[in-house]
Structure 1
Amino acid sequence: MITTTSPPSPSFSLRPEIRDQQPQLLEWRRHLHQYPELGFQETLTAAFIAEKLTQWGIDHQTGVAETGIVAVIEGQRPGPVLAIRADMDALPITEANDIDYRSRHDGRMHACGHDGHTTIALGTAYYLSHHRDFAGTVKLIFQPAEEGPGGAKPMIEAGVLKNPDVDAIIGLHIWNNLPLGTVGVRTGPLMAAVELFECTVKGKGGHGAMPHQTVDAIVVAAQVVTALQTIVSRNVDPIDSAVVTIGSLHGGTKHNIIAETAALKGTIRYFNPRYDGFFPDRVKQIIAGVCDTYGATYDLNHYKLYSPVINDDRIADLVRSAALSVVESPLGVVPECQTMGGEDMSFFLQEVPGCYFFLGGANLNKGLTFPHHHPRFNFDETVLSVGVELFVRCVERFSQGTL
Structure 2
Amino acid sequence: MKILPELKELHSEMTEWRHRIHKHPETAFEEYETSDFVAEKLESFGIEVHRGLAKTGVVGTLKNGSGNRAIGLRADMDALDLQELNEFEHRSQVDGKMHGCGHDGHTVMLLGAAKHLAETKNFDGTVRFIFQPAEENVAGGRVMISDGLFEKFPVDSVYGMHNMPGHEVGTFAVRKGPIMASADFFEARVIGVGGHGAFPHQTTDPVVISAEIIQAWQNIVSRNVDPLQSAVVTVAQIHGGHTGNVIPEDVVMSGTTRAFDPAVQDMIENRMRQLAVGIAEAHGAKCEFKYDRRYAPTINTADETDLAVAAATELVGDVNVNKDVTPVMGAEDFSWMLRERPGCYIMIANGAGEGSCHIHNPNYDFNDEILPLGANYWVQLTEQILTREAN
Q: Same fold (TM over 0.5)?
A: yes
Moved over 4 A (4+): 328-331
Q: Structure 1's 164 and 45: CA in aligned 2 closer, same or farther, altered over 3 A?
A: closer
The alignment partner of 2:150 has SS state of coil
The 5 A counterparts of 1:4-403 are: 12-162=1-151, 165-176=154-165, 178-328=167-317, 331-366=320-355, 368-370=356-358, 372-401=359-388
The percentage of aligned residue pairs carrying the same residue is 39
Structure 1's 222 and 99: CA in aligned 2 closer, same or farther, altered over 3 A?
Answer: farther
State the 1:260 CA deviation: 2.9
Contact 1:76 1:133 in 2 (8 A): no
Cα distance in 2 between the residues matched to 1:155 and 1:89 = 14
Tell me the secondary structure at the aligned position of residue 43 of structure 2.
helix
Contact in 2 for aligned 1:242/1:268 (Cα 8 Å): yes
Mapped to 1, the partners of 2:215 and 2:325 lie a distance apart of 31
- How many residue pairs get matched? 389
TM-aligned CA distance change 1:223 to 1:158, over 3 Å: closer
Contact 2:123/2:383 (8 A) holds in 1: yes
One-letter identity of the residue aligned with 2:59 = V
State how far apart, in whole Å, the 1-side matches of 2:265 and 2:243 are.
40
Deviation at 1:179, TM superposition (A): 4.2
Contact 1:220 1:290 (8 Å CA) reproduced? yes
**2-side partners of 1:238 and 1:357: how far apart?**
27
Report the Cα offset of residue 267 of structure 1. 1.0
**Alpha-carbon contact 1:77-1:134 (below 8 Å) kept:** no
Cα deviation for residue 212 of structure 1 reads 3.0
Per-residue CA deviations over 1:74-95 (Å, capped at 9, x if unaligned) read: 2345252111011111122222
Displacement after TM superposition at 1:259 (Å):
2.9
- Report deviation, 1:180: 3.0
**Residue type at the aligned position of 1:369:** C
CA distance in 2, matches of 1:78, 1:15: 24
Tell me the distance in 1 between the aligned counterparts of 2:166 and 2:259. Answer: 19
CA contact (8 A) 2:277 2:288 kept: no
Q: What is the letter of the counterpart of residue 84 of structure 1?
A: L
TM-score (norm 2): 0.93
- Verify the 8 A CA contact 2:27 2:97 in the aligned structure 1: yes
Tell me which moved more, 297-306 or 200-209.
200-209
Unaligned residue ranges in structure 2 (runs of 5+): none
Q: Give the aligned residue type for 1:378.
A: D
CA distance in 2, matches of 1:219, 1:323: 54
Contact 1:92 1:107 in 2 (8 A): yes
3-state secondary structure, aligned to 1:111: coil
2-structure distance, mates of 1:141, 1:31: 20
Aligned Cα RMSD in Å? 2.0
